[in-house]
Amino acid sequence: MQFNKTDAVKMGGTAIVTALIVLALHRPAASSESYTFQLATSTSARISWAYARNLDSQYLAFRPLRVRGGDSSLPLRALVFNARQLDTIINHNLNPNGPNRKDSTADDIYIYFGQDSTFQSGQSRFGNIHLIAVGGKYDPTQNADTLMINRNNMSSATAASVYDKADPCPPNCPKNP
- Taking only the tens place, the pLDDT of each residue in 64-82 is 888 877 778 888 888 888 8
Residue 10: exposed, middle, or buried by beta-carbon count in 10 A (0-12, 13-18, 19+)? buried
Q: How many residues does the chain have?
A: 177
The answer to the question of residue 36 being in a domain is: yes
The answer to the question of residue 176 being in a domain is: no
The answer to the question of residue 53 being in a domain is: yes
Please tell me what DSSP assigns to residue 27. Answer: P
Overall average pLDDT of the 117-124 stretch: 72
Residues 6+ apart with CB under 8 A from 54: none
- Cite the DSSP H helix spans in 27-152: 49-61, 83-91
The answer to the question of residue 177 being in a domain is: no
The answer to the question of residue 103 being in a domain is: yes
Overall average pLDDT of the 119-123 stretch: 72
Tens of pLDDT, residues 123-174 = 776 667 778 888 888 888 888 888 888 878 888 888 778 888 778 888 888 8
| Structural domain boundaries enclosing 146 | 5-169
Number of domains observed in the structure of the chain? 1
Tens of pLDDT, residues 25-64 = 554 544 444 445 555 555 677 888 888 888 889 888 888 8
Residue 92: exposed, middle, or buried by beta-carbon count in 10 A (0-12, 13-18, 19+)? middle
Nearest to 23 by CA among 71, 68, 59: 59
Q: How far apart are CA 102 and CA 137, in angstroms?
A: 12
The answer to the question of residue 174 being in a domain is: no
The answer to the question of residue 156 being in a domain is: yes
The answer to the question of residue 128 being in a domain is: yes
pTM summary value: 0.64
